[in-house]
Structure 1
């Protein structure tokens, strides 16, 4: 039942109300436009003027038009606070503790009824908020919901550091509420289009980590905030008001990170965070905004299980890594005479690597008794012969990477024609972009537009990429990840009569990546493509192909060399060679030289050369 209807029934059933203080219309309007009241109602300026609330739940509002009229909602709240105290836990003061506290302070409401609010008090005392920690699990390409990273808040009690009980703290999270089992493609589409409602949840931090089982294979960054206990409490009391309250959820803007920024604005009035993100709210950008606002006190890094395993494996020679693989498959080999013949210090490292490998493969999987037994036997061997302390190099802070939106201005030539190119990419990184804060071999590009202006002022849409994702994780003796890529959109390709045809396509591929040096990757993939091309007789033309290349992070920036080909069923063969080198002029500024040669059965080979200035910002 909507809250405003419930309150109306209570008004009719209860004894006469205490009178709310008379507030002049002018004072009421001033108070309703106070930034803090606007934050409590999650209001934004409407596109056609006025106000609209991000809250998509009529039960959150007391006034009939409270979602679009902050003054009406404030007046209805003020009247409701004077209901008789006998209403108990359903009393508006108990339902809206943050509104109540703020109005009591601003209007000096010393005569308010005093309901017990026992349910809220038990809940708040159980959480016992003292400080907040912003948690950022790094991006995970294999999960559409996590490919940009994720943010949540951990609410700590006062004794967490002394007792080491952070896992017993509460996790405050905002996420899409998904009923049923939507596949990845459907999830991505509905997430983009606002097809899911978003809800706040406050659960144990341990339970949240278990829910996000993949976090075990993702780096975890903890940003301890300098909020006082009072500020943290203000934020938590507002979370009570948002229990089961639905918001629209959009993957790029009204997402987990944006909603948490709203809570931080409530915790510390006057800090402006959400206004910085009118179009998109990529998690790394929001972390950067929180840091720039002076809210971060300390940063802790927790490497993923994968990082710890690879750090330990890097201390082993190839034969020793073979031993680690063997022990992970058969833990009884710890008693093999050949293994016992190795120096104790080397055996310690091998056993530890084998144990970490077993635990890595167990992540997210159902419990397996044989695997659990191997894990236990290896742990016993480690206890008998412990290795030295593991040291994992701390990578560049993710917020130190370039910002997510990219403007591009280029000049070049194709064949004998010169052109200028203008581009915009909404998010957020490709293989040649400035590398600080990003893993080598990762690419996530969403909504990229490129327009070309040829000589004689001839304009042409060069490409429109809906999504281009690449995951080029190198293989090694212990781990054999699959490299993959997927892309969809519009692009220009060689066509008949020396024309360049605009085609729609979707393509993907899978293969392997290998580390050739500390800063060099080589990859090779088999690919498949579906294309709609007016030059082809078939409405949809399939093609098989290949994509292979080299990525080198050098002193200037990033260089990539790539060869690819598509062999269409109807006879067309399309191949290309491309070289790209980006110079990192600044954290958010890059200069890229691109050279390519394209081959097609429909046209003579053609060369293209372009120099592009890339400016990153959000």
Structure 2
């Protein structure tokens, strides 16, 4: 009997050991499998194709103690940390359950952790307060238009916005928005700012604040239009994104202006709940409009990801809209009020009905708020605003005029693709024929499609063109940057001539007569421009150009030009230039340049160029536009 009992106990022990061993092996296998789960890797912000290298540089973000943190090691460390009892010497807010709610949710949904026991009960006070402040019935990406005064914002900017279902004009400004940007020291040297932004050297981070602060900064101060892309995500997925934001708000990233920027990281954040990427993982550069295009094309649970697109006009756009709604008589009366230092003791104004007077006053409020951004700390502007307020107090509450979007404000996803391949033929002095091939990284030039961009502006980076006669190839030009803003719409009631400016740097041929006379240069110009009708612009600029290399020289020049849209798809530009103080070649004293562009599809255009600069240079180029 003893023998039988001993044998039974032994077999029972072996069976129990087998069960626990098998359970442990099964649990280990499930951890290995889950460690490569797409959502888990997204929560750790691992780089594409990697399960150990993250975009996040903050050591505190990772719970594993290993120097090289694999997704499996971080998973095990996270599970261990989640089940740790609360340490009496530690704030509950520092426990993994409070720091990593998205990790906790995903792990509990995907893995059977019954062998670990019960999770500890912890009051996450800081997370709870933060979470209650966010009304996350819906989520949107907000795109701000380009801002030429800031190199990092020339291509636009992206914010994430959370809203309540019952959002209205007054409540939506209290919605939570999330920003991503470089952490730049105050009063940073502009040149250093550009170099470090492109080459690296800045930390970057997500930050959250109420949306009205961003709307005020972008729409009221910087006068940038915005577009809100509302997404059709389920509450469960929106909640996962919000919880993950809590996890990464303290984290630091490396910042790179060209690729690892706001557009890239917001796209990757949304991909946490998407089956496919919004932007390609192998993109060499990422622009905000590429993310907008990805959103417009993306699917979510077999339906479009994009629910709707709403335009948010800047204060200046609203001013122009109000001005267009006024009658000619009302416009003239408003001008008289401005000219008379905002005196309302004007017969024509006093003769108007109350509602018409309110319309003029509200339009003038938009005017003075826009002028305020250009003439900061102006005593005249401040005094005028006080008079407007006093006059407005004499009328009943309620608006007499509102924004009416009568024009097509093209959303970012409708903009032409930013990159370009080109092929063409050129003739030099009507005796030599060459083939050309070119590449431009970004973005548009002054003959590009006007859809979704500022008219009469140029924003190009890394634009290279090669030329060959069949036996040898040379670099015809390499523009590192070519940026110009020839016209900003004049503020209504101000007779100001629009400012024009341009900067350019790169490598070019000194003369059209030679394809092996390359020289490096930088160029800058300032001037004025005037709108001619609805479709044309004339401009005049003066500037200088510095050449570098064996033939160093500095020149000064004057330019006179005209840009016109002959039809919707046909544009032309002619520019005359006179140059002086030239040591390199006195024959390079003046030039005339004509360019014509015909857009025959969203992706293609053909261009003709004729230039007389010592010799005659004529070319025909076919351009194909594309993007990642």
Give TM-score scaled by structure 2 length: 0.85
What displacement does 1:614 show?
2.6
Superposed, which structure 2 residues align to 1:358-507 within 5 Å?
Answer: 358-363=368-373, 365=376, 369-377=382-390, 379-380=392-393, 389-392=402-405, 393-415=407-429, 416-455=431-470, 457-474=471-488, 476=490, 478-479=493-494, 480=496, 481-494=498-511, 500-507=516-523
What displacement does 1:492 show?
1.2
1:31 to 34, 57, 64: 34
Q: CA 1:343–1:493 in structure 2 vs 1: closer, same or farther (change >3 Å)? A: farther
- The whole-number CA distance in structure 1 between the counterparts of 2:254 and 2:179 is 15
CA contact (8 A) 2:422 2:439 kept: yes
2:10 maps to which residue? none
- The whole-number CA distance in structure 2 between the counterparts of 1:249 and 1:429 is 24
Q: CA 1:531–1:327 in structure 2 vs 1: closer, same or farther (change >3 Å)? A: farther
What displacement does 1:345 show?
8.1
What displacement does 1:428 show?
0.6
- The whole-number CA distance in structure 2 between the counterparts of 1:342 and 1:126 is 47
- The whole-number CA distance in structure 1 between the counterparts of 2:352 and 2:398 is 13
What displacement does 1:468 show?
0.8
CA contact (8 A) 1:98 1:237 kept: yes
What displacement does 1:320 show?
6.3
What displacement does 1:462 show?
1.1
- The whole-number CA distance in structure 2 between the counterparts of 1:78 and 1:617 is 41
Q: CA 1:182–1:466 in structure 2 vs 1: closer, same or farther (change >3 Å)? A: same
Q: CA 1:277–1:383 in structure 2 vs 1: closer, same or farther (change >3 Å)? A: farther
Matched, 1:56 2:57: yes
Q: CA 1:498–1:202 in structure 2 vs 1: closer, same or farther (change >3 Å)? A: closer
CA contact (8 A) 1:359 1:375 kept: no
| Deviation larger for 290-299 or 499-508 | 499-508
**What SS does the aligned partner of 2:450 have?**
coil
- The whole-number CA distance in structure 2 between the counterparts of 1:279 and 1:37 is 25
**What SS does the aligned partner of 1:44 have?**
coil
What displacement does 1:472 show?
2.0
- Residues 458-502 of structure 1: CA distance to partner in whole angstroms, max 9, x if unpaired? 10011111111111225546353422111111111218x956521
Matched, 1:299 2:291: no
CA contact (8 A) 2:501 2:527 kept: yes
What displacement does 1:152 show?
0.4
- Residues 382-439 of structure 1: CA distance to partner in whole angstroms, max 9, x if unpaired? 7699755553323222211111211112222222222221111111111112222223
**What SS does the aligned partner of 2:460 have?**
strand
Q: CA 1:45–1:355 in structure 2 vs 1: closer, same or farther (change >3 Å)? A: closer
CA contact (8 A) 1:40 1:238 kept: yes
**What SS does the aligned partner of 1:363 have?**
helix
What displacement does 1:249 show?
0.9
What displacement does 1:126 show?
2.1
CA contact (8 A) 2:231 2:308 kept: yes
- Residues 296-322 of structure 1: CA distance to partner in whole angstroms, max 9, x if unpaired? 111111222222222333456888656
Matched, 1:96 2:100: yes
What displacement does 1:612 show?
2.4
2:81 maps to which residue? 80
Give TM-score scaled by structure 1 length: 0.87
Superposed, which structure 2 residues align to 1:205-244 within 5 Å?
Answer: 205-212=211-218, 217-244=223-250
1:509 maps to which residue? 525
What displacement does 1:264 show?
0.7
Q: CA 1:426–1:141 in structure 2 vs 1: closer, same or farther (change >3 Å)? A: same
- Residues 503-536 of structure 1: CA distance to partner in whole angstroms, max 9, x if unpaired? 11111112222221222222221222112253x4
Q: CA 1:315–1:129 in structure 2 vs 1: closer, same or farther (change >3 Å)? A: closer
What displacement does 1:283 show?
0.5
Q: CA 1:262–1:607 in structure 2 vs 1: closer, same or farther (change >3 Å)? A: closer
What displacement does 1:588 show?
1.8
1:272 to 273, 277, 284: 277
Superposed, which structure 2 residues align to 1:548-567 within 5 Å?
Answer: 548-552=561-565, 554-567=567-580
- How many correspondences in the alignment? 585
2:605 to 573, 583, 590: 590
What displacement does 1:211 show?
4.4
- The whole-number CA distance in structure 1 between the counterparts of 2:526 and 2:395 is 37
- The whole-number CA distance in structure 1 between the counterparts of 2:252 and 2:477 is 37
2:534 maps to which residue? 518
2:592 to 577, 584, 588: 577
| Deviation larger for 168-177 or 415-424 | 415-424
- The whole-number CA distance in structure 2 between the counterparts of 1:504 and 1:195 is 27
Matched, 1:309 2:319: yes
CA contact (8 A) 1:51 1:69 kept: yes
- The whole-number CA distance in structure 1 between the counterparts of 2:268 and 2:186 is 29
Listed as ranges, the gaps of 5+ residues in structure 1 are 1-19, 600-604
- The whole-number CA distance in structure 2 between the counterparts of 1:512 and 1:318 is 27
- Residues 197-238 of structure 1: CA distance to partner in whole angstroms, max 9, x if unpaired? 110011111223344465661111111111122211100101
CA contact (8 A) 1:494 1:500 kept: no
Q: CA 1:527–1:346 in structure 2 vs 1: closer, same or farther (change >3 Å)? A: farther
What displacement does 1:292 show?
0.9
* Structure of greater Rg: 2
**What SS does the aligned partner of 1:391 have?**
coil
Q: CA 1:399–1:67 in structure 2 vs 1: closer, same or farther (change >3 Å)? A: farther
Give me the CA root mean square deviation.
3.0
**What SS does the aligned partner of 1:444 have?**
strand
